[in-house]
Amino acid sequence: MSGSFAIEARALNVEVGGKPVLKELSVGFRAAQVTAIVGPNGAGKTTLLKALLRLLPLASGQVHLAGQDISARQAHQLAGRIGYLEQAPNIYWPLSVEALVTLGLPAAAAARAGALEAALERTEIAEFRHRPVLELSGGERALVLLARVLATEAPVILADEPTLSLDPRHQIAILECFRRQAKAGTCVVLVMHDLLMAEKYADRIVVIDRGGLYKDLTMPLGLDDQTLDEVFGIGRAALA
């Protein structure tokens, strides 16, 4: 069963600042699917992504990527295999869109050009390619950062609240991009707070609560009333 997961956490225990954040968490994510991870603040969603990326040390447990144990690896050793879009990402220098999207790509010119063009096309930002990224709006910047991840052609993409602070048009544009990417075979894992968007765009919803797996739902099964009440403390009516 575990062999079919593109990336998988097995009995993960992760501590942050000496406090246990993930507790015996086991969950796997498949290729060609958009999986939304939802849960209240402090549930351990971001910690799970960072543990999968090998940005955080594991107290115990394992992380498997394409069936291979990567628990002893560090994040930089997995470049090109996992794409990461961090929460509220920063861009520190006013580089052009094109320069940013190609940062970190292989040196071969033809491969770079191909990856760049495909990423710009998929995110529909080719018209901005020569503009300094710091001159773009927040929504346009988010698309540029997504293009940067797509250009790596990583088989697994982990994104932490990729639609944070975006207007509805750009939220939809970003999520549509992720859906297209999943259809092309990529394993897409999104941490989300917008439960309605999660239900609309994800193939599967994983509910995390207090560092553990609360529920694993395959669409079209939406979030049930009991989950909304117990995990989020709200009713369905509050989402509308």
Q: Which is nearer to another protein, 78 or 115 (CB)?
A: 78
Closest CA to 202 of 221, 225, 185: 221
Q: Which of 7, 12, 35, 50 binds another protein (CB under 8 A)?
A: 50
The kind and range of the H/E element at 181 are: helix 168-183
Rounded Cα distance between 210 and 96, Å, is: 41
Q: Using CB under 8 A, which of the segments 29-37, 47-55, 168-176, 194-202 binds another protein?
A: 47-55
Q: Which is nearer to another protein, 53 or 231 (CB)?
A: 53
DSSP state at residue 80: T
Q: Which is nearer to another protein, 35 or 152 (CB)?
A: 152
Q: How far is the CB of 71 from another protein (least distance, A)?
A: 16
Q: Which is nearer to another protein, 89 or 222 (CB)?
A: 89
DSSP state at residue 70: -
Residues 6-45 that bind another protein (CB under 8 A): none
Residues 103-162 that bind another protein (CB under 8 A): 103-104, 134, 145, 148, 152
- String of contacts with another protein for each residue 55-94, x by CB under 8 A: x------------------xxx-xxx-xxxxx--xxxxxx
Residue pair 79/37 in contact (Cβ under 8 Å)? The answer is no
Residue pair 177/105 in contact (Cβ under 8 Å)? The answer is no
Q: CB count, 10 Å around CB of 3?
A: 9
Residue 2 corresponds to which amino acid? S
Q: How far is the CB of 223 from another protein (least distance, A)?
A: 29
Q: How far is the CB of 30 from another protein (least distance, A)?
A: 21
Q: Which is nearer to another protein, 25 or 154 (CB)?
A: 154
Question: Is residue 5 classed exposed, middle or buried when 0-12, 13-18 and 19+ CB atoms within 10 A define those classes?
Answer: buried
Q: Which is nearer to another protein, 105 or 207 (CB)?
A: 105
- Residue with tokens 């958009």, as numbered in its chain: 34
Residues 152-191 that bind another protein (CB under 8 A): 152
Rounded Cα distance between 201 and 5, Å, is: 20
Q: How many chain residues bind another protein (CB under 8 A)?
A: 30
DSSP state at residue 228: I
Q: Which is nearer to another protein, 84 or 128 (CB)?
A: 84
Tell me the backbone φ, ψ of residue 27, rounded to 5 degrees: -160, 140
Contacts with another protein by CB under 8 A lie at: 50, 53, 55, 74-76, 78-80, 82-86, 89-96, 99-100, 103-104, 134, 145, 148, 152
